[in-house]
Every structure is written in structure tokens, then in C-alpha cells.
Amino acid sequence: MTAVPGPAPPLLEVRDLHTAFVTPHGPILAASGVDFSLGEGETKGLVGESGSGKSITLLSLLGLVPEPGCVIDGQVLWNGRDLLALSKDELRQLRGREIAMIFQDPMSSLNPVYTIGEQIAETLRVKLGMGGRNAKTRAAELLDHVGIPAAKSRLASYPHELSGGMRQRVMIAIAVACRPRLLLADEPTTALDVTIQDQILALLAELREELGMSMILVSHDLGVVAQNCDSVAVMYAGHIVEEGPVADLFRMPRHPYTAALLAALPSIRLTHGRGRLPQISGQMPDLARLPEGCPFQPRCPSARDGCRGVTMELIRVAGDHLTACPFSEDAR
């Protein structure tokens, strides 16, 4: 009898990740007990309001948390190897080659005093050992590949001479230069108009398919996540409050915060009528003064006394659909 192969192990597995910033009043957790996994070729969305911990989670994976922040606990398993146990030199070798990142603001990520060509070629020389002439030729090919017209002449351009969309394409060219297996995209369409946003997202989808990459896409736009991701993790105050396949989570949210985010999405009915968009009352909590138990309870329409005893541990509700709310069945 032929043995049936088991499920493939995850490409990336994040276990109980805690990232803190040291303050005069003690450490503040920006990522608290974060758990998720990512399969080969999968795209996972990280969504939530500003300050929910999305970007810090991505930076934690590659040891890029700015001081005075640091990862204080957890594991980040990449092909079974814990990235948090690697030395700075080992992490530096891995960044760009195996895991690459696109940052929110290309203007602050690109060096203003070096040309675009020099910055792409540097990646190729340092990471792949290319010679100067080959690196320049490959840099032009990469610019052409990400849709920048007159790629050869653009090698001599400086970042300020390019539009926001073109700068983001340059960042994508640098990120995929070494054909990484995982791409971390931290709100790659921030500050771009809608047409350019669509072009950038279509480019990322095309490159993901062509290179067989996995991707983690950070966004506050649920529509972007619905169209581009296989699964999604919803973050609030440093915690993942819900995770699951995109279709399941959008069809039947199992955490009040997710339900509130989805309810706040514009609809044709509201656009053409006199209805008002629902709002989430209150504001994101101060991470230095989180309420006891579930951090969403002060804003939650379904809050009860039991919320103060919630541990924020994810509970499986169906298949791969998880929630941190133990009262999700009652609230439906």
C-alpha cells in the first residue's frame, strides 16, 4: 500500500513572538505572543489599524527592529532554522537572498546621493558577487522587468527624479534581484494614487507567480488583502486576534474587531444612499496601559465581564480559522 504523503512543513513559522520597546516606565510590547505560519507559494495578509503591530512584526522577523526595541522572546523558524538565534553576519547573508523586504516609504529607503543604478548594482555585487559590468547590465534588466520605461537611461537617475510609483518599482527591483523565496511587503502602496496602487499590486502578483515566491503583505486596506492574499491575520494592540483563509474570515468573522473592520468598509448601498459608514468607537489603546484581558474590550459592542480574563490565545473555530475571542459563538 502506497503511503500518503503528509502536509508540507511551513516555509516560515512564527512562534510566540514578543517584541518590546524599553521606556523609562518599563518595556512596552509592540508584538505580543504573535503566532502564524506561511506555506510555500502562499501570500498572507497582515491587517489592522495603525499601531497594531504589523510593521514591527515584519521587522522582527529579520532582526531590523529599531532601537530601543528588541525581540525578547519567541522563535522565527525559516526552513526549520531559528532566525532569532542567528548572528548579525548570518542574518545579513540571509536578508535579500532568501528573504527580502519592501519598506513603506521608498523615498526614505533609497539613498538620495546614489543613483538608482548604483543602488541596484550594489545589491547584486554584495549578495551575488557580480562584477561591475554584469551588475550594471542586470540592473537595467531588472528595471525593465518591473515596468520602468527607458530602463538603461534611468540607471543614472537619482531617487528624487522619479515619481512615487517609479521609486516603488525600484524598491521591488532591488527586493527581487536575488530571487528570494519570501518577500515581505510593508504597505507597498502607501501614498500612491489608486491607479498606481493597482499597477504595483499587479506587478507583485506577477513576480510572485514567476519566481514562485511566498509573500507577507501588510496593509490597512481589507480590499487589497481580499484580492491578493490566500490567508489573513488580523492584528490589534500587538496581538493577532483572528487568522484564517481569506474567504472564510471575510464571510464569517469570528472576532468582534474583525467584524467591526469589515462593517466599516464602504458599500454601493451607502455610497448612493443616505446611510453612514459604521465606525469603531474609541481609539487604539495606549500599549503602556492596556486593559486587563482582551485589549479590544473598551471598544467592543459585545464586551462582558469575562473579557477581563481572556488570555488572547488563538482558539480553532473551524479548519484553519482561529480567533482570540472565546465568546465568538455568543456574539454571532
Tens-digit pLDDT profile for residues 92-101: 999 999 999 9
pLDDT given for residue 273 in this prediction: 53
pLDDT of residue 269: 53
Contact 294, 324 (CB under 8 A): yes
Q: What is the pLDDT of residues 132-181, one digit of tens each?
A: 899 999 999 999 999 999 999 999 999 999 998 999 999 999 999 999 99
Question: Whole-prediction pTM value?
Answer: 0.91
d(CA 311, CA 293) in angstroms, rounded, equals 6
Read off the pLDDT of residues 16-55 as tens digits, 9 standing for 90 and up: 999 999 888 888 999 999 999 999 999 999 999 989 999 9
Above 70 in pLDDT, residue 4? Answer: no
Contact yes or no for 199/193 (Cβ under 8 A)? no
Mean pLDDT of the chain: 90
* pLDDT, position 108: 82
- Residue 266, pLDDT > 70, answer yes
Distances (CA, A) of 324 to 33, 234, 240, 267: 12, 10, 8, 28
The pLDDT assigned to 274 comes to: 56
> pLDDT value at position 84?
94
pLDDT at 299: 93
Structural domains of the chain in order of their starting residue, each with its CATH number: 96-219 (3.40.50.300)
